[in-house]
Amino acid sequence: MHIFDTIDALREHLNQQKKQGKRIGFVPTMGNLHKGHLSLIKQAKAQSDVVVSSIFVNPTQFSKGEDIERYPRTLEQDQTLLIEQGCDVLFIPEVQSMYPKGELTRVSVKDISAKYCGASREGHFDGVTTIVCKLFNIVQPDVAVFGSKDFQQLAIIRHMAKDLMMNIDIQAAPTFRADSGLALSSRNGYLSEEELDIAPAIYKTLTWAKEAILNNQSQAKIEKDAKAKLTEAGLKPDYFHICNADTLQAATKDDTHIVILVAAYLGSARLIDNLNFEKQ
């Protein structure tokens, strides 16, 4: 695996690859990789000749009160996992390279960035779209793969790519779950043993809500009862919304592609998950 920490060196390497007609796949990450990330690499690998991954703990996507220093950094272990998974190129830039002195530009996708997770984490999605746009401009991939667990993030990135006419195939990879149903996330590392027993209640509640939707129960009641279930299990729900999976607006009775979005606090962690499905 080739490792680059400067933009110029990475660009030079990728230009050579592109000249040879190679198709570039890209998986941006903040490191602390788990099986979910590795499935993204696998998906990118199946569709490209050269897979590039980046590890960059992006300061602009941490909102007020969120501690960037606390974010787990496991670079050596991440490198080993990437090599095992067959990743070809790793980009690990410094903060000063991605946000050089004097830079003034932010990329912001209106409306959907302000809802749900955006409402609780002010400026978070502007930080995500800004860094992903910068990384796309550096790597210029043919295909980029993102996890479906961050469903709102994925929808916002798709919107950005479409609105800014980026010629990149943005793909979703399925959420990777533990046997308990808990979606894999770097944030699970913040959970105690006891909290790890409570956390699967999120997926349980999602599957319960899906059944209730398919049985045509009232949407408002499902959302209210789901929050009560989460509270009863020992979580503190932030939101639980039944949405149109394409627009992320509240679902109407005519919508068929549905996503249920949930965020809940558990100890010092804020966990998110979702379930998307077709309703006949």
Q: Is there a catalytic annotation at residue 37?
A: yes
Residue with tokens 């490209």: 48
Instruction: Write down the least CB distance from residue 37 to ligand PAF, Å.
Output: 8
| Closest-CA residue to 212 (of 115, 279, 114) | 279
Amino acid at 181: G
Among 131, 138, 198, 264, binds ligand PAF (CB under 6 A): 131
What sign does the CA torsion over 245, 239, 144, 277 have?
A: negative
For ligand PAF, the closer CB: 78 or 150: 150
- Which residue among 34, 37, 124, 241 is the active-site one? 37
How many Cβ atoms are within 10 Å of 35's Cβ, its own excluded? 12
Query: Which phi and psi angles does 263 have, rounded to 5°?
Result: -140, 140
Q: Which residues contact 274 (CB under 8 A, 6 or more apart)?
A: 148, 149, 151, 175, 206, 259, 260, 261, 262
Among 33, 50, 132, 272, binds ligand PAF (CB under 6 A): 132
Instruction: Write down the least CB distance from residue 54 to ligand PAF, Å.
Output: 7
| 48-77 residues near ligand PAF, rule: CB under 6 A | 58, 61
For ligand PAF, the closer CB: 131 or 161: 131
Instruction: Write down the least CB distance from residue 124 to ligand PAF, Å.
Output: 9
Side by side, the strands of the sheet bearing 89-91 are: 2-4, 89-91, 50-55, 24-29, 143-147, 169-173
Binding range to ligand PAF, per CB under 6 A, among 76-84, 125-133, 254-262, 264-272? 125-133
Count of residues that interact with ligand PAF, criterion CB under 6 A? 10
Query: Which phi and psi angles does 150 have, rounded to 5°?
Result: -90, 70
Instruction: Write down the least CB distance from residue 152 to ligand PAF, Å.
Output: 11
For ligand PAF, the closer CB: 71 or 239: 71
Site pattern 232..271 for ligand PAF (x: CB under 6 A):
----------------------------------------
For ligand PAF, the closer CB: 151 or 240: 151
| 133-162 residues near ligand PAF, rule: CB under 6 A | 150, 153
Instruction: Report residue 257 as tokens.
Output: 């592609």
How many Cβ atoms are within 10 Å of 143's Cβ, its own excluded? 19
Site pattern 14..33 for ligand PAF (x: CB under 6 A):
--------------xxx---
What sign does the CA torsion over 180, 182, 188, 193 have?
A: negative
For ligand PAF, the closer CB: 113 or 153: 153
For ligand PAF, the closer CB: 68 or 83: 68
CA angle 207–181–212, rounded 5-degree value? 5
Instruction: Write down the least CB distance from residue 135 to ligand PAF, Å.
Output: 8
Rounded-to-integer distance, Cα 236 and Cα 263, Å? 9
The residue ranges that bind ligand PAF (CB under 6 A) are 28-30, 58, 61, 128, 131-132, 150, 153
Catalytic positions, written as ranges: 37
